[in-house]
């Protein structure tokens, strides 16, 4: 069995361990991201505080209420389903982009409200998104290099 030499540390790295680390990092960060999206959507649909905060954000953005009450939560659930699927990479990239837009917009609105816990939650969402997107790109690069080596 061949060993891969990591150029930074000059140590031999077992390809199976490296592959396993990549899979688990990708899975955990993606589950965290999708869990956060689904939690935010369920909070809007099933709690009065979520409903009221969604209405407040819609009013601050000067957009129709149905966008904050229905379109954004349903879009979040659809984005999490697309991100969890492995079929269409381009569609997944758009889902990641929509999610980033949503989280940045949420952070900007929460900063205006100056609620510390919500600011920390929004920053956590952005960091989770960054991890999930990073490990997704690593996984894609690994798959492409494997396909290129096999061809």
pLDDT tens digits, residue range 19-52?
777 888 888 988 999 998 999 889 888 988 888 8
Q: Is residue 10 part of a domain?
A: no
**CB-CB contact of 22 with 139 (8 Å):** yes
In terms of residue numbers, what domain contains 66? 25-141
Q: Is residue 62 part of a domain?
A: yes
Q: Is residue 89 part of a domain?
A: yes
Q: Is residue 14 part of a domain?
A: no
pLDDT of residue 16: 63
User: Does the CA dihedral 54-58-60-61 come out positive or negative?
Assistant: positive
Q: Is residue 45 part of a domain?
A: yes
Q: Is residue 149 part of a domain?
A: no
pLDDT of residue 80: 92
Domains contained in the chain, number: 1
Q: Is residue 11 part of a domain?
A: no
Query: Which residues make Cβ contacts (< 8 Å) with residue 89, sequence separation at least 6?
Result: 140
Q: Is residue 82 part of a domain?
A: yes
| Of 99 and 113, more confident | 99
């Amino acid at each position: 069995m061949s060993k891969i030499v990591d150029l930074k540390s000059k140590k031999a790295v077992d390809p199976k361990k490296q592959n396993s680390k990549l899979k688990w990092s990708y899975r955990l960060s993606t589950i965290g991201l999708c869990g956060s999206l689904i939690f935010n959507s369920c909070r809007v649909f099933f709690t009065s505080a979520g409903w009221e905060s969604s209405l407040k954000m819609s009013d601050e953005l000067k957009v129709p209420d149905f966008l904050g009450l229905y379109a954004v939560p349903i879009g979040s659930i659809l984005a999490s389903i697309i991100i969890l699927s492995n079929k269409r990479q381009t569609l997944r990239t758009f889902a990641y982009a929509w999610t980033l837009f949503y989280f940045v917009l949420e952070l900007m609105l929460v900063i205006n409200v100056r609620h510390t816990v919500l600011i920390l939650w929004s920053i956590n969402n952005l960091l989770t998104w960054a991890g999930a997107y990073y490990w997704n790109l690593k996984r894609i690069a690994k798959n492409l290099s494997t396909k290129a080596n096999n061809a």
